[in-house]
Amino acid sequence: MTTLYLILFCAVFVGVNALNPVYVKAQRNGACPKSLLLKMLCATGYLVTCVLAMLIGNNFTKFSWLILLALGLSWIGDLFLHLWQHKIFHGIGFLGFLSAHFIFIWAYLTEIKALSPDRAFFSVPEVAAVVLFCVGFILFSIRIGTNLKSVLVVPVLIYAAVITTMLCKASVMGVLYAKAGLPHGVFAAVVAIAGAALFVASDFSIAILMFNEKHKKNYPLKMFNMVTYFLAVLLLSALPMLVAA
């Protein structure tokens, strides 16, 4: 049965990545019912891969359920961020992804505490990374002429700080797993760090698409945004079968 689950996992993983460019092409000129359907098929794919990963690894720990919950909130974010009928939907989508990142952080912290109980919540390098990323984001936004309304500055900076924290925690968890010599520890570290880093890259690119008029219809940037995003969530969905139960 495990072999069947693994085959299904690989099939869905490849299928989502194959369908993703079709989705991007469908929404090249703006959101529409067809593009929404294709996007949500891809989004449902990463939920399926997470459930399959839990079954493959026989891992139904708090960590696994938190990863699945975070992906579920990302699914909600995908849905509302793509709806075009009202601007409030984009706000709901933003909150969905913000909540997802908090849950990812919670999941990583559960493993970090298990491996290193005395570790502080934040280290100096982590604080420095968050501050530098936020400052860099502001400078880059100014450089490319991003039209970020004043009312959105604080929410966007909060989001930037949260996703950087998510990347920091994924990296710490990954390093601890690799050092602990656990089964699949090094592979789990690579998957966790790569998935989180791709998520940050995707979120960074969508900020450019949303707040810079001259890039709103930048097709290569849209493709980069969605390829990095779906690869990120698919990698993170695989963690339950790599992290020890």
Give the range of the structural domain holding residue 171, as residue numbers without chain letter: 2-241
- pLDDT tens for 34-53 read 999 999 999 999 999 999 99
The angle, 0 to 180 degrees and rounded to 10, between the axes of the packed helices 88-115 and 62-82 is 160
Q: Are 56 and 222 in contact (CB under 8 A)?
A: no
pLDDT tens digits in sequence order for the chain, 245 residues long: 789 999 999 999 999 999 999 999 998 777 788 999 999 999 999 999 999 999 999 999 999 999 999 999 999 999 998 887 778 898 899 999 999 999 999 999 999 999 999 888 878 888 888 888 888 877 776 676 666 666 567 788 888 889 999 999 999 999 999 998 878 889 999 999 999 999 999 988 887 777 666 666 778 888 999 999 999 999 999 999 998 65
- pTM over 0.75? The answer is yes
Residue 158, phi then psi, degrees to nearest 5: -60, -45
- How many domains are there within the chain? 1
